[in-house]
Protein backbone atom coordinates (compact mmCIF):
# COMPACT_ATOMS: atom_id res chain seq x y z
CA UNK A 1 0.00 0.00 0.00
CA UNK A 2 2.80 2.41 0.90
CA UNK A 3 4.65 1.56 -2.30
CA UNK A 4 1.56 2.74 -4.19
CA UNK A 5 1.40 5.90 -2.06
CA UNK A 6 4.81 6.86 -3.40
CA UNK A 7 4.30 5.50 -6.89
CA UNK A 8 6.74 6.82 -9.42
CA UNK A 9 9.90 5.61 -7.69
CA UNK A 10 12.78 4.71 -9.95
CA UNK A 11 15.08 1.64 -9.82
CA UNK A 12 18.35 1.77 -7.89
CA UNK A 13 17.28 4.64 -5.69
CA UNK A 14 19.55 5.09 -2.67
CA UNK A 15 18.98 3.39 0.66
CA UNK A 16 19.92 5.14 3.86
CA UNK A 17 19.52 4.59 7.58
CA UNK A 18 18.04 6.41 10.55
CA UNK A 19 20.73 8.13 12.65
CA UNK A 20 18.62 10.29 15.01
CA UNK A 21 14.98 10.60 16.10
CA UNK A 22 13.47 13.67 17.77
CA UNK A 23 9.72 13.13 18.10
CA UNK A 24 8.33 13.38 14.57
CA UNK A 25 11.63 14.59 13.09
CA UNK A 26 14.07 11.97 11.79
CA UNK A 27 17.67 12.38 10.62
CA UNK A 28 18.64 10.00 7.80
CA UNK A 29 22.14 9.28 6.44
CA UNK A 30 22.47 8.39 2.74
CA UNK A 31 25.48 7.25 0.71
CA UNK A 32 27.76 10.12 -0.46
CA UNK A 33 26.23 12.28 -3.23
CA UNK A 34 22.95 10.33 -3.05
CA UNK A 35 21.01 12.28 -0.43
CA UNK A 36 17.26 12.37 -1.18
CA UNK A 37 15.86 15.59 -2.67
CA UNK A 38 13.87 18.13 -0.67
CA UNK A 39 10.12 17.54 -0.70
CA UNK A 40 10.40 13.89 -1.71
CA UNK A 41 8.99 11.00 0.29
CA UNK A 42 11.03 8.25 1.89
CA UNK A 43 9.85 4.89 3.17
CA UNK A 44 11.23 3.77 6.54
CA UNK A 45 11.08 -0.01 6.84
CA UNK A 46 10.10 -0.31 10.49
CA UNK A 47 10.24 -4.03 11.24
CA UNK A 48 7.49 -6.35 10.01
CA UNK A 49 4.83 -3.64 10.24
CA UNK A 50 3.81 -1.09 7.65
CA UNK A 51 6.57 1.21 6.39
CA UNK A 52 6.58 4.73 7.84
CA UNK A 53 6.39 7.54 5.26
CA UNK A 54 8.37 10.73 5.86
CA UNK A 55 9.08 13.87 3.83
CA UNK A 56 12.56 15.36 3.40
CA UNK A 57 12.72 18.95 4.70
CA UNK A 58 16.37 19.91 5.32
CA UNK A 59 19.81 18.81 4.09
CA UNK A 60 22.09 18.95 7.13
CA UNK A 61 25.24 18.10 5.15
CA UNK A 62 26.33 16.15 2.06
CA UNK A 63 25.03 12.83 3.37
CA UNK A 64 22.41 13.66 6.05
CA UNK A 65 18.81 14.79 5.53
CA UNK A 66 16.19 15.73 8.11
CA UNK A 67 12.67 14.42 7.44
CA UNK A 68 9.23 14.91 8.99
CA UNK A 69 7.34 11.68 9.70
CA UNK A 70 3.73 11.50 8.46
CA UNK A 71 2.93 8.74 10.92
CA UNK A 72 3.70 7.58 14.45
CA UNK A 73 7.43 7.11 15.20
CA UNK A 74 6.86 4.91 18.27
CA UNK A 75 9.19 1.88 18.15
CA UNK A 76 11.50 3.43 15.57
CA UNK A 77 15.23 3.08 16.33
CA UNK A 78 18.59 4.12 14.95
CA UNK A 79 19.94 2.02 12.12
CA UNK A 80 16.49 1.34 10.62
CA UNK A 81 16.83 1.18 6.80
CA UNK A 82 15.26 3.95 4.73
CA UNK A 83 14.32 3.66 1.04
CA UNK A 84 14.27 6.86 -1.02
CA UNK A 85 11.49 7.13 -3.59
CA UNK A 86 12.60 9.99 -5.82
CA UNK A 87 9.07 11.47 -5.84
CA UNK A 88 6.77 13.48 -3.58
CA UNK A 89 4.04 11.75 -1.63
CA UNK A 90 1.23 10.73 -3.99
CA UNK A 91 -2.38 10.07 -2.97
CA UNK A 92 -5.22 8.22 -4.74
CA UNK A 93 -7.60 10.45 -6.69
CA UNK A 94 -10.67 10.09 -8.90
CA UNK A 95 -13.94 8.20 -8.55
CA UNK A 96 -12.35 5.58 -6.26
CA UNK A 97 -12.02 8.04 -3.36
CA UNK A 98 -15.66 9.24 -3.47
CA UNK A 99 -17.61 7.94 -0.52
CA UNK A 100 -14.37 7.05 1.27
CA UNK A 101 -12.49 8.37 4.29
CA UNK A 102 -8.70 8.36 3.89
CA UNK A 103 -5.68 9.59 5.84
CA UNK A 104 -2.83 11.88 4.77
CA UNK A 105 -1.10 9.20 2.68
CA UNK A 106 -4.32 7.98 1.06
CA UNK A 107 -4.95 4.86 3.15
CA UNK A 108 -8.63 4.01 3.77
CA UNK A 109 -9.71 4.72 7.35
CA UNK A 110 -13.37 3.70 7.04
CA UNK A 111 -12.94 -0.10 7.39
CA UNK A 112 -13.54 -0.38 3.64
CA UNK A 113 -11.50 -2.24 1.03
CA UNK A 114 -8.03 -1.11 -0.06
CA UNK A 115 -7.71 0.87 -3.27
CA UNK A 116 -6.80 -1.17 -6.36
CA UNK A 117 -3.24 -0.93 -7.68
CA UNK A 118 -4.33 0.84 -10.87
CA UNK A 119 -6.10 3.75 -9.12
CA UNK A 120 -4.69 7.09 -10.39
CA UNK A 121 -2.47 9.04 -8.01
CA UNK A 122 -1.35 12.65 -7.80
CA UNK A 123 1.51 14.32 -5.87
CA UNK A 124 0.43 16.49 -2.95
CA UNK A 125 2.81 19.26 -4.06
CA UNK A 126 1.80 21.14 -7.21
CA UNK A 127 1.97 24.74 -8.44
CA UNK A 128 -1.07 27.00 -8.43
CA UNK A 129 -2.73 27.53 -11.84
CA UNK A 130 -1.00 30.38 -13.73
CA UNK A 131 -2.86 33.68 -13.57
CA UNK A 132 -3.36 33.56 -17.35
CA UNK A 133 -5.35 30.32 -16.95
CA UNK A 134 -7.50 31.36 -14.00
CA UNK A 135 -11.10 32.41 -14.49
CA UNK A 136 -12.07 35.73 -12.91
CA UNK A 137 -15.78 35.95 -13.68
CA UNK A 138 -17.40 36.40 -10.24
CA UNK A 139 -20.55 34.36 -9.82
CA UNK A 140 -22.54 33.93 -6.61
CA UNK A 141 -22.51 30.55 -4.86
CA UNK A 142 -25.91 30.18 -3.20
CA UNK A 143 -25.96 28.32 0.12
CA UNK A 144 -29.57 28.69 1.28
CA UNK A 145 -28.34 30.26 4.57
CA UNK A 146 -30.00 33.68 4.86
CA UNK A 147 -27.37 35.69 6.67
CA UNK A 148 -24.52 34.32 4.53
CA UNK A 149 -26.24 34.84 1.16
CA UNK A 150 -27.36 38.35 2.11
CA UNK A 151 -24.36 39.87 3.92
CA UNK A 152 -21.33 37.74 2.99
CA UNK A 153 -22.18 36.02 -0.31
CA UNK A 154 -19.79 33.31 -1.41
CA UNK A 155 -18.11 33.40 -4.81
CA UNK A 156 -18.11 30.36 -7.05
CA UNK A 157 -14.45 29.41 -7.34
CA UNK A 158 -13.57 31.67 -4.42
CA UNK A 159 -12.38 31.23 -0.85
CA UNK A 160 -14.55 31.88 2.17
CA UNK A 161 -13.71 31.35 5.82
CA UNK A 162 -15.65 31.23 9.07
CA UNK A 163 -13.76 32.84 11.93
CA UNK A 164 -14.67 32.14 15.52
CA UNK A 165 -13.42 30.97 18.89
CA UNK A 166 -14.19 27.63 20.46
CA UNK A 167 -17.84 26.64 20.70
CA UNK A 168 -19.50 29.30 18.51
CA UNK A 169 -20.67 26.92 15.77
CA UNK A 170 -17.99 26.71 13.05
CA UNK A 171 -18.21 22.94 12.57
CA UNK A 172 -22.03 22.90 12.61
CA UNK A 173 -22.10 25.64 9.95
CA UNK A 174 -19.62 23.72 7.78
CA UNK A 175 -21.65 20.51 8.13
CA UNK A 176 -24.80 22.39 7.09
CA UNK A 177 -22.97 23.88 4.10
CA UNK A 178 -21.84 20.42 3.00
CA UNK A 179 -25.40 19.14 3.11
CA UNK A 180 -27.13 22.07 1.46
CA UNK A 181 -24.54 22.77 -1.22
CA UNK A 182 -24.14 19.16 -2.31
CA UNK A 183 -27.93 18.95 -2.61
CA UNK A 184 -28.23 22.31 -4.41
CA UNK A 185 -25.12 22.24 -6.65
CA UNK A 186 -24.08 19.37 -8.86
CA UNK A 187 -20.44 18.63 -8.24
CA UNK A 188 -17.97 16.97 -5.91
CA UNK A 189 -17.31 17.69 -2.24
CA UNK A 190 -13.89 17.15 -0.67
CA UNK A 191 -13.64 17.56 3.10
CA UNK A 192 -10.28 18.08 4.82
CA UNK A 193 -10.38 17.49 8.56
CA UNK A 194 -7.22 19.10 9.94
CA UNK A 195 -6.53 18.44 13.62
CA UNK A 196 -10.19 17.94 14.49
CA UNK A 197 -11.64 15.61 17.11
CA UNK A 198 -12.29 11.97 16.21
CA UNK A 199 -15.88 12.39 17.45
CA UNK A 200 -16.53 15.18 14.93
CA UNK A 201 -15.15 13.07 12.08
CA UNK A 202 -17.38 10.14 13.07
CA UNK A 203 -20.46 12.40 13.32
CA UNK A 204 -19.71 13.94 9.93
CA UNK A 205 -19.35 10.53 8.29
CA UNK A 206 -22.69 9.35 9.74
CA UNK A 207 -24.43 12.61 8.78
CA UNK A 208 -23.24 12.43 5.18
CA UNK A 209 -24.18 8.77 4.94
CA UNK A 210 -27.69 9.36 6.30
CA UNK A 211 -28.30 12.39 4.07
CA UNK A 212 -27.30 10.44 0.94
CA UNK A 213 -24.53 12.81 -0.20
CA UNK A 214 -21.56 10.66 0.88
CA UNK A 215 -21.29 9.08 -2.58
CA UNK A 216 -20.28 12.48 -4.00
CA UNK A 217 -17.91 13.34 -1.15
CA UNK A 218 -14.30 12.42 -0.35
CA UNK A 219 -13.12 12.77 3.27
CA UNK A 220 -9.46 13.27 4.15
CA UNK A 221 -8.62 13.34 7.85
CA UNK A 222 -5.53 14.14 9.89
CA UNK A 223 -7.05 14.01 13.36
CA UNK A 224 -6.05 15.71 16.58
CA UNK A 225 -4.36 12.58 17.96
CA UNK A 226 -2.15 12.10 14.90
CA UNK A 227 1.48 13.32 14.64
CA UNK A 228 2.04 16.94 13.51
CA UNK A 229 3.38 15.79 10.12
CA UNK A 230 0.01 14.21 9.27
CA UNK A 231 -1.92 17.33 10.33
CA UNK A 232 0.55 19.54 8.45
CA UNK A 233 0.14 17.79 5.09
CA UNK A 234 -3.46 16.54 5.14
CA UNK A 235 -4.71 19.79 3.60
CA UNK A 236 -2.41 19.31 0.61
CA UNK A 237 -3.62 15.70 0.22
CA UNK A 238 -7.23 16.95 0.03
CA UNK A 239 -6.16 19.66 -2.45
CA UNK A 240 -4.57 17.05 -4.73
CA UNK A 241 -7.89 15.16 -4.84
CA UNK A 242 -9.85 18.37 -5.53
CA UNK A 243 -7.43 19.49 -8.26
CA UNK A 244 -7.80 16.17 -10.06
CA UNK A 245 -11.58 16.60 -10.31
CA UNK A 246 -11.17 20.22 -11.44
CA UNK A 247 -8.34 19.76 -13.98
CA UNK A 248 -8.79 16.21 -15.29
CA UNK A 249 -12.54 15.53 -14.95
CA UNK A 250 -13.66 19.19 -15.24
CA UNK A 251 -16.06 18.96 -12.30
CA UNK A 252 -16.92 21.78 -9.93
CA UNK A 253 -15.52 20.99 -6.50
CA UNK A 254 -16.56 22.20 -3.06
CA UNK A 255 -13.49 22.02 -0.77
CA UNK A 256 -14.37 22.24 2.91
CA UNK A 257 -11.62 22.62 5.47
CA UNK A 258 -12.02 22.34 9.23
CA UNK A 259 -9.82 23.90 10.44
CA UNK A 260 -7.05 25.94 8.83
CA UNK A 261 -5.67 27.19 12.14
CA UNK A 262 -4.78 23.59 13.07
CA UNK A 263 -2.63 23.48 9.93
CA UNK A 264 -0.75 26.52 11.24
CA UNK A 265 -0.41 24.90 14.66
CA UNK A 266 1.01 21.70 13.16
CA UNK A 267 3.46 23.78 11.10
CA UNK A 268 4.57 25.50 14.29
CA UNK A 269 5.25 22.15 15.97
CA UNK A 270 7.24 20.97 12.96
CA UNK A 271 9.16 24.26 12.76
CA UNK A 272 10.27 23.94 16.38
CA UNK A 273 11.37 20.34 15.91
CA UNK A 274 13.31 21.33 12.79
CA UNK A 275 15.23 23.88 14.85
CA UNK A 276 13.90 27.10 13.27
CA UNK A 277 13.77 30.21 15.41
CA UNK A 278 10.19 31.33 16.15
CA UNK A 279 8.77 34.55 14.72
CA UNK A 280 5.97 36.87 15.92
CA UNK A 281 3.95 35.58 18.91
CA UNK A 282 5.91 32.32 18.70
CA UNK A 283 4.66 31.35 15.22
CA UNK A 284 6.97 29.69 12.69
CA UNK A 285 9.00 32.04 10.44
CA UNK A 286 7.47 30.28 7.41
CA UNK A 287 3.87 31.15 8.43
CA UNK A 288 3.09 33.29 5.37
CA UNK A 289 4.54 30.87 2.83
CA UNK A 290 2.82 27.83 4.40
CA UNK A 291 -0.61 29.49 4.27
CA UNK A 292 0.04 30.78 0.73
CA UNK A 293 1.14 27.32 -0.47
CA UNK A 294 -2.25 26.01 0.58
CA UNK A 295 -4.54 28.94 -0.30
CA UNK A 296 -3.15 29.92 -3.70
CA UNK A 297 -3.85 26.51 -5.21
CA UNK A 298 -7.58 27.00 -4.57
CA UNK A 299 -8.68 28.68 -7.80
CA UNK A 300 -11.11 28.39 -10.69
CA UNK A 301 -10.16 27.68 -14.28
CA UNK A 302 -12.41 27.94 -17.36
CA UNK A 303 -15.00 25.17 -17.18
CA UNK A 304 -14.46 24.12 -13.55
CA UNK A 305 -13.86 25.67 -10.17
CA UNK A 306 -12.76 24.81 -6.65
CA UNK A 307 -14.93 26.70 -4.18
CA UNK A 308 -13.47 26.57 -0.68
CA UNK A 309 -15.22 27.11 2.64
CA UNK A 310 -12.90 26.98 5.62
CA UNK A 311 -13.24 27.05 9.37
CA UNK A 312 -10.67 29.16 11.22
CA UNK A 313 -10.27 28.93 14.98
CA UNK A 314 -9.53 32.34 16.51
CA UNK A 315 -7.34 31.92 19.62
CA UNK A 316 -8.79 33.78 22.62
CA UNK A 317 -11.19 35.55 20.19
CA UNK A 318 -8.23 37.73 19.11
CA UNK A 319 -8.70 38.69 15.46
CA UNK A 320 -5.33 40.49 15.43
CA UNK A 321 -3.51 37.17 15.88
CA UNK A 322 -0.83 36.90 13.12
CA UNK A 323 -2.14 33.57 11.77
CA UNK A 324 -5.74 34.82 11.60
CA UNK A 325 -4.66 38.09 9.96
CA UNK A 326 -2.59 36.20 7.39
CA UNK A 327 -5.51 33.94 6.44
CA UNK A 328 -7.82 36.98 6.10
CA UNK A 329 -5.66 38.30 3.25
CA UNK A 330 -6.35 35.31 0.98
CA UNK A 331 -10.16 35.34 1.21
CA UNK A 332 -13.02 36.55 -0.95
CA UNK A 333 -15.61 36.22 1.83
CA UNK A 334 -15.14 36.47 5.59
CA UNK A 335 -17.85 35.11 7.89
CA UNK A 336 -17.18 36.17 11.47
CA UNK A 337 -18.93 34.24 14.24
CA UNK A 338 -19.76 36.11 17.44
CA UNK A 339 -19.65 34.64 20.94
CA UNK A 340 -22.11 37.29 22.16
CA UNK A 341 -24.67 36.29 19.52
CA UNK A 342 -24.16 32.60 20.29
CA UNK A 343 -24.79 33.28 23.99
CA UNK A 344 -28.08 34.97 23.03
CA UNK A 345 -29.15 31.93 20.99
CA UNK A 346 -28.80 33.73 17.65
CA UNK A 347 -27.79 30.82 15.43
CA UNK A 348 -26.03 30.84 13.05
CA UNK A 349 -24.04 33.29 15.21
CA UNK A 350 -22.79 35.32 12.22
CA UNK A 351 -21.78 38.87 13.16
CA UNK A 352 -23.56 41.00 10.51
CA UNK A 353 -21.28 44.04 10.89
CA UNK A 354 -17.94 42.20 10.70
CA UNK A 355 -18.80 39.67 7.97
CA UNK A 356 -18.20 40.81 4.41
CA UNK A 357 -17.52 39.72 0.85
CA UNK A 358 -15.77 41.13 -2.21
CA UNK A 359 -18.95 40.22 -4.12
CA UNK A 360 -20.94 42.94 -2.30
CA UNK A 361 -20.94 45.33 -5.25
CA UNK A 362 -24.12 46.54 -6.99
CA UNK A 363 -22.50 45.80 -10.37
CA UNK A 364 -22.13 42.13 -9.41
CA UNK A 365 -25.16 41.31 -7.27
CA UNK A 366 -27.66 43.93 -8.40
CA UNK A 367 -28.96 47.12 -6.77
CA UNK A 368 -31.73 45.51 -4.75
CA UNK A 369 -29.49 42.95 -3.02
CA UNK A 370 -26.77 45.54 -2.35
CA UNK A 371 -29.19 48.19 -1.06
CA UNK A 372 -30.97 45.69 1.22
CA UNK A 373 -27.68 44.41 2.66
CA UNK A 374 -26.48 47.94 3.37
CA UNK A 375 -29.78 48.95 5.02
CA UNK A 376 -29.76 45.82 7.20
CA UNK A 377 -26.20 46.59 8.32
CA UNK A 378 -27.06 50.25 8.96
CA UNK A 379 -30.10 49.34 11.09
CA UNK A 380 -28.14 46.82 13.19
CA UNK A 381 -25.20 49.24 13.58
CA UNK A 382 -27.58 51.95 14.85
CA UNK A 383 -29.08 49.49 17.35
CA UNK A 384 -25.60 48.54 18.60
CA UNK A 385 -24.77 52.24 19.09
CA UNK A 386 -27.85 52.64 21.25
CA UNK A 387 -27.45 49.45 23.30
CA UNK A 388 -25.49 51.08 26.12
CA UNK A 389 -28.10 53.83 26.46
CA UNK A 390 -30.88 51.22 26.52
CA UNK A 391 -29.02 49.21 29.18
CA UNK A 392 -28.50 52.27 31.39
CA UNK A 393 -31.73 54.25 30.95
CA UNK A 394 -34.19 51.90 29.28
CA UNK A 395 -35.68 51.94 25.80
CA UNK A 396 -38.37 54.41 26.92
CA UNK A 397 -35.76 57.19 27.01
CA UNK A 398 -35.17 56.90 23.24
CA UNK A 399 -37.02 59.04 20.72
CA UNK A 400 -39.98 57.50 18.89
CA UNK A 401 -37.90 57.24 15.71
CA UNK A 402 -35.06 55.45 17.50
CA UNK A 403 -37.51 53.07 19.19
CA UNK A 404 -38.90 52.12 15.77
CA UNK A 405 -35.37 51.58 14.38
CA UNK A 406 -34.34 49.48 17.38
CA UNK A 407 -37.43 47.32 17.03
CA UNK A 408 -36.74 46.73 13.34
CA UNK A 409 -33.07 45.92 13.98
CA UNK A 410 -34.00 43.35 16.64
CA UNK A 411 -36.53 41.78 14.28
CA UNK A 412 -33.97 41.70 11.46
CA UNK A 413 -31.46 39.92 13.69
CA UNK A 414 -34.07 37.33 14.64
CA UNK A 415 -35.18 36.88 11.04
CA UNK A 416 -31.57 36.13 10.06
CA UNK A 417 -31.52 33.15 12.43
CA UNK A 418 -32.31 29.83 10.83
CA UNK A 419 -32.84 26.19 11.89
CA UNK A 420 -30.32 23.79 10.30
CA UNK A 421 -30.95 20.34 8.91
CA UNK A 422 -27.93 18.91 10.73
CA UNK A 423 -29.25 20.09 14.12
CA UNK A 424 -32.79 18.73 13.75
CA UNK A 425 -32.05 15.82 16.11
CA UNK A 426 -30.90 18.24 18.85
CA UNK A 427 -33.41 21.09 18.45
CA UNK A 428 -36.50 19.30 17.20
CA UNK A 429 -36.88 21.95 14.49
CA UNK A 430 -36.68 20.83 10.86
CA UNK A 431 -34.02 22.66 8.86
CA UNK A 432 -34.73 25.36 6.27
CA UNK A 433 -32.90 26.36 3.11
CA UNK A 434 -34.05 29.80 1.89
CA UNK A 435 -33.67 31.24 -1.59
CA UNK A 436 -31.93 34.61 -1.89
CA UNK A 437 -35.03 36.33 -3.32
CA UNK A 438 -37.05 35.19 -0.30
CA UNK A 439 -34.35 36.46 2.08
CA UNK A 440 -34.28 39.87 0.41
CA UNK A 441 -38.08 40.06 0.37
CA UNK A 442 -38.25 39.22 4.09
CA UNK A 443 -35.64 41.83 5.05
CA UNK A 444 -37.37 44.46 2.89
CA UNK A 445 -40.69 43.72 4.57
CA UNK A 446 -39.14 44.26 8.02
CA UNK A 447 -37.25 47.40 6.92
CA UNK A 448 -40.45 48.83 5.44
CA UNK A 449 -42.26 48.39 8.76
CA UNK A 450 -44.59 45.48 7.99
CA UNK A 451 -43.44 43.57 11.06
CA UNK A 452 -43.36 46.51 13.49
CA UNK A 453 -46.35 45.13 15.43
CA UNK A 454 -45.27 41.50 15.30
CA UNK A 455 -43.92 39.61 18.29
CA UNK A 456 -40.14 39.16 17.93
CA UNK A 457 -40.50 35.41 18.55
CA UNK A 458 -42.56 35.13 15.35
CA UNK A 459 -39.39 35.89 13.35
CA UNK A 460 -37.00 33.74 15.37
CA UNK A 461 -35.76 30.50 13.76
CA UNK A 462 -38.00 30.64 10.68
CA UNK A 463 -37.35 30.20 6.98
CA UNK A 464 -38.91 32.89 4.79
CA UNK A 465 -41.18 35.78 5.78
CA UNK A 466 -44.32 33.80 4.86
CA UNK A 467 -43.56 31.31 7.63
CA UNK A 468 -43.13 34.21 10.06
CA UNK A 469 -46.50 35.67 8.94
CA UNK A 470 -48.23 32.34 9.59
CA UNK A 471 -46.60 32.05 13.01
CA UNK A 472 -47.65 35.60 13.93
CA UNK A 473 -51.23 34.96 12.77
CA UNK A 474 -51.43 31.76 14.83
CA UNK A 475 -50.15 33.52 17.99
CA UNK A 476 -52.83 36.21 17.62
CA UNK A 477 -55.55 33.63 17.11
CA UNK A 478 -54.60 31.59 20.17
CA UNK A 479 -55.25 34.32 22.80
CA UNK A 480 -58.54 35.23 21.10
CA UNK A 481 -59.72 31.60 21.34
CA UNK A 482 -58.64 31.47 24.98
CA UNK A 483 -60.69 34.62 25.83
CA UNK A 484 -63.74 33.28 23.94
CA UNK A 485 -63.67 30.02 25.85
| Closest by Cα among 228, 229, 231, 180 to 201 | 231
Most confident segment among 31-35, 130-134, 212-216, 426-430:
31-35
Most confident segment among 13-27, 386-400, 413-427:
13-27
Beta-carbon contacts of residue 117 (< 8 Å; ≥ 6 apart): 4
Beta-carbon contacts of residue 338 (< 8 Å; ≥ 6 apart): 164, 168, 346, 349, 350, 351, 354
Q: Write down the catalytic residue from 77, 78, 197, 476.
A: 197
Predicted pLDDT of residue 480? 55
Beta-carbon contacts of residue 416 (< 8 Å; ≥ 6 apart): 146, 147, 150, 346, 350, 352, 376
Predicted pLDDT of residue 203? 79
Band (48; pLDDT cuts 50, 70, 90): low
- Are the C-beta atoms of residues 85 and 55 closer than 8 Å to each other? no
- Are the C-beta atoms of residues 66 and 72 closer than 8 Å to each other? no
What pLDDT digit, counting tens, does each position of 130-176 carry?
A: 988 888 778 888 999 999 999 999 998 899 999 988 888 888 888 88
What pLDDT digit, counting tens, does each position of 69-120 carry?
A: 999 998 899 999 999 999 999 999 999 999 999 999 999 998 889 999 999 9
Least confident of 108-117, 180-189, 190-199, 397-406: 180-189
Question: Mean pLDDT over residues 43-71, rounded?
Answer: 92
Residue 201 pLDDT > 90, yes or no? Answer: no
Residue 179 pLDDT > 70, yes or no? Answer: yes
Question: In this predicted model, which residue has the larger pLDDT, 333 or 480?
Answer: 333
Please provide the average confidence, as pLDDT, over all residues in the chain. Answer: 90
Q: Percent of the chain scored above 90 by pLDDT?
A: 69
- Are the C-beta atoms of residues 80 and 92 closer than 8 Å to each other? no
Predicted pLDDT of residue 330? 94
Q: Write down the catalytic residue from 170, 233, 297, 377.
A: 170
Residue 466 pLDDT > 50, yes or no? Answer: yes
What pLDDT digit, counting tens, does each position of 218-253 carry?
A: 999 999 999 999 999 999 999 999 999 999 999 989
Question: In this predicted model, which residue has the larger pLDDT, 183 or 124?
Answer: 124
As a whole number of angstroms, the distance between CA 136 and CA 304 comes to 12
- Residue 170 annotated as catalytic: yes
What pLDDT digit, counting tens, does each position of 278-317 carry?
A: 998 999 999 999 999 999 999 888 888 899 999 999 998 8
Beta-carbon contacts of residue 189 (< 8 Å; ≥ 6 apart): 178, 181, 182, 213, 216, 217, 218, 253, 254, 255, 256
Q: Percent of the chain scored above 70 by pLDDT?
A: 95
CA-to-CA dists, residue 36 to 64, 71, 79, 86, 166, angstroms: 9, 19, 17, 7, 41
Predicted pLDDT of residue 184? 75
Residue 192 pLDDT > 80, yes or no? Answer: yes
- Are the C-beta atoms of residues 171 and 258 closer than 8 Å to each other? yes
Predicted pLDDT of residue 176? 85
Predicted pLDDT of residue 246? 94
Question: In this predicted model, which residue has the larger pLDDT, 449 or 176?
Answer: 449
Predicted pLDDT of residue 483? 47
Predicted pLDDT of residue 8? 47
Predicted pLDDT of residue 320? 93
Residue 471 pLDDT > 70, yes or no? Answer: yes
- Residue 197 annotated as catalytic: yes
- Residue 246 annotated as catalytic: no
Predicted pLDDT of residue 78? 95
Q: Write down the catalytic residue from 196, 207, 226, 290.
A: 196
Residue 423 pLDDT > 90, yes or no? Answer: no
Residue 430 pLDDT > 50, yes or no? Answer: yes
Amino acid sequence: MHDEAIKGSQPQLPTGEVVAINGSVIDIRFPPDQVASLGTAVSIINGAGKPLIAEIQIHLDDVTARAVALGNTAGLKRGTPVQATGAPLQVPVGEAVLGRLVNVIGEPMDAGSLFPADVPRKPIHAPAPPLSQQSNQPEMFHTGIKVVDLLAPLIKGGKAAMFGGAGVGKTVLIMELIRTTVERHSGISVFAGIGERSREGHELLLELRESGVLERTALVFGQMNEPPGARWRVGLSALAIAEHFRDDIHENVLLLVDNVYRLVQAGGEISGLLGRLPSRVGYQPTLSSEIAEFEERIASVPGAAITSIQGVYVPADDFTDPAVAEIFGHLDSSIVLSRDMASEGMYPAVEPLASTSSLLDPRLIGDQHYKTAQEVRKAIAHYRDLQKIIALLGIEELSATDRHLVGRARRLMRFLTQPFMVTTAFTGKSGRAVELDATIAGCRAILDGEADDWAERSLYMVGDIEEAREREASTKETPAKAVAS
